[in-house]
Amino acid sequence: MIETKTECCTIYSEDVEDAVVLEGSPGVGLIGNIVGWLLVEDLKMREIGYIDSKYFPPLAVLYRGVAIHPFRIYEGEGIVLFLSDFILPPAVVYDMTNAIVEWMERNRSHELITFNSMVVREKSQPVAGAGNSQDVIQRLADLGIPIVPFGNLNGISGTLLTRCAVRDIPASCLFAEILNPYPDPRAAAAVVDVLNSMLGTSIDPEPLLQEAQAIESRLKKLAETVQGEVETPIYM
């Protein structure tokens, strides 16, 4: 493995040249994390490294009973995935982003795509996009992806877009529309459909739709149970 060091973190990873880089980390609705895990399973991606920092929370992730690093790097079918299972401390984001972009520049990565979400009162479009250049915006528009015209993009997604722009690396962010801050597999499935259009892949979103249906069924049963209960009287 090759080390890519900054003040706050170190990337330990094999080099993979000429890849498309994806970034998935937990946020509102857990879109990036859900999409990332689906990619690992569907593409049978190989773990090639991880990011380490003393500023990370003290945890390990259990995957099929095995403890794995909470911020891993995967590779498969010309795609490299940076996948985190915890919310990144803001103090680490800038240095970590520079390390990721340095890794991309060394490996001549084609582009970066990161995932995020936006909470709406009513869904009008499954997925919207933003980019770090007019060329990226035009590509998204040509694919029929609505563009987010204004707003702030916080955290690692926003920093990746700006740091990639400094190095002339095309970068875009796909936003899933969600109605509440809870995990939303159905919204993540919509992001996968758009990703397939962008990359020419055939990642199957069906597992996410099945998971969404199961969650919705449980919520419906819970609502029916609550509605059927007699209200507890309020005593003054």
pLDDT digits (tens, 9 = 90+) for 25-45: 988 889 999 999 999 999 999
Instruction: Report the pLDDT value the prediction gives residue 215, as an integer from 0 to 100.
Output: 64
Q: What is the pLDDT along the chain (236 residues), one digit of tens a residue?
A: 688 888 889 999 999 999 999 999 988 889 999 999 999 999 999 999 999 999 999 989 888 899 999 999 999 999 999 999 998 889 899 999 999 999 999 999 999 999 999 988 888 888 999 999 999 999 999 999 999 988 888 889 999 999 999 999 999 999 999 988 888 899 999 999 999 999 999 999 998 988 877 766 665 665 565 455 444 444 33
pLDDT of 235 = 39
The whole-number pLDDT of residue 234 equals 42
How far apart, in whole angstroms, are the C-alpha atoms of residue 234 and residue 92?
49
Instruction: State the pLDDT at residue 123.
Output: 81
> How far are the Cα atoms of 138, 147, 181 from residue 125, in angstroms, in the given order?
18, 11, 17
pTM of the shown model = 0.89
Whole-angstrom distance, CA of residue 197 vs CA of residue 186: 17
Give the whole-angstrom CA distance, residue 6 versus residue 178.
35
Q: What are the start-end ranges of the H helices in 43-125?
A: 90-106
Q: Are strands 127-131 and 71-76 parallel, antiparallel or unpaired?
A: unpaired
Compute the half-sphere exposure of residue 177: CA atoms within 13 Å on the CB side of its CA: 13
CA distances from 36 to 131, 192, 210, 229 (A): 20, 10, 17, 40
pLDDT at 231: 44
Torsion-angle region of residue 114: left (phi > 0), alpha (psi -120 to 50) or beta?
Answer: beta
- CA-to-CA distance for 16 and 44, rounded, in angstroms? 16
What's residue 4's pLDDT? 87
- What pLDDT, on the 0 to 100 scale, is given for residue 218? 62
CA dist 59 and 77 (Å) reads 30
